[in-house]
């Protein structure tokens, strides 16, 4: 993947397209967690792709590409959400219920069902940590949170899931 990123940084559009094809599903899932309207989701992913294309030469470390793109996507989703609903973004308002039902995740339905009762911070951290396999430090950078806050949310989410599983 890093070779493709370096090629894209040197202006190779074909390499850039291959990168986005590879991460498109992940971007869709993350955008779907914030925005329920399919057109807005497509706009957020497309705006992310455009911003990434325009700024890819500024990326210093190709190994950080996906984190960088997810940060851009989250910012684009927040901008669309604020523009459409004209209010500040609240983590609790992320729409994970429609996300879990529309992403063809039959094999993970129980996992997403467990996430349903979590706060947004806990949901996004669980998704980034377990599904996207980011470290706490990476999540801290992506969500612009304190590392201890990320750890606390991760711990609380695990406890809630464990308690729900034991029921």
Q: Quickly tell me which residue has 């955008």 as its tokens.
A: 31
**Higher-scoring residue by pLDDT: 90, 156:** 156
Chain segment 102-147, per-residue pLDDT in tens: 444 444 556 666 777 788 778 888 888 877 778 888 888 888 889 9
Whether this model's pTM surpasses 0.75: no
What local confidence, expressed as pLDDT, does residue 79 receive?
84
**Higher-scoring residue by pLDDT: 166, 41:** 41
What local confidence, expressed as pLDDT, does residue 107 receive?
44
Q: How would CATH label the architecture of 92-167?
A: Orthogonal Bundle (1.10)
Q: CATH 1.10.10.10 in the chain, residues?
A: 92-167
What local confidence, expressed as pLDDT, does residue 29 receive?
84
57-76 mean pLDDT = 89
Question: CB under 8 Å to 124, separation ≥6 — which residues?
Answer: 33, 91, 94, 143
What local confidence, expressed as pLDDT, does residue 101 receive?
42
Chain segment 13-27, per-residue pLDDT in tens: 999 899 989 988 888
**pLDDT, the chain, mean:** 79
What local confidence, expressed as pLDDT, does residue 89 receive?
40
Which phi and psi (to 5°) does residue 98 adopt? -70, -30
What local confidence, expressed as pLDDT, does residue 104 receive?
42
Q: CATH 1.10.1740.10 in the chain, residues?
A: 1-89
Q: How would CATH label the architecture of 1-89?
A: Orthogonal Bundle (1.10)
Cα–Cα distance for residue pair 109/146, rounded to 1 Å: 30
22-41 mean pLDDT = 85
């Amino acid at each position: 993947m890093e070779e493709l990123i370096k090629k894209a940084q040197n202006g190779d559009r074909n390499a850039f397209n291959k990168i986005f094809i590879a991460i498109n599903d992940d971007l869709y899932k993350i955008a779907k967690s914030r925005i329920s309207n399919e057109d807005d989701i497509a706009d957020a992913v497309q705006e992310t792709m455009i911003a990434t294309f325009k700024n890819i030469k500024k990326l210093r470390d190709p190994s950080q590409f996906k984190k960088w793109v997810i940060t851009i996507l989250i910012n684009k989703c927040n901008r669309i959400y604020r523009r459409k609903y004209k209010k500040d973004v609240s983590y609790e308002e992320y729409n994970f219920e429609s996300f879990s039902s529309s992403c063809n995740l039959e094999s993970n339905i129980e996992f997403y069902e467990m996430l349903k009762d979590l706060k947004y911070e806990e949901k996004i951290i669980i998704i980034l940590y377990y599904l996207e396999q980011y470290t706490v430090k990476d999540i801290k950078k992506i969500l612009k949170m304190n590392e201890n806050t990320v750890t606390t949310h991760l711990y609380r989410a695990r406890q809630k899931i464990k308690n729900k599983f034991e029921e």
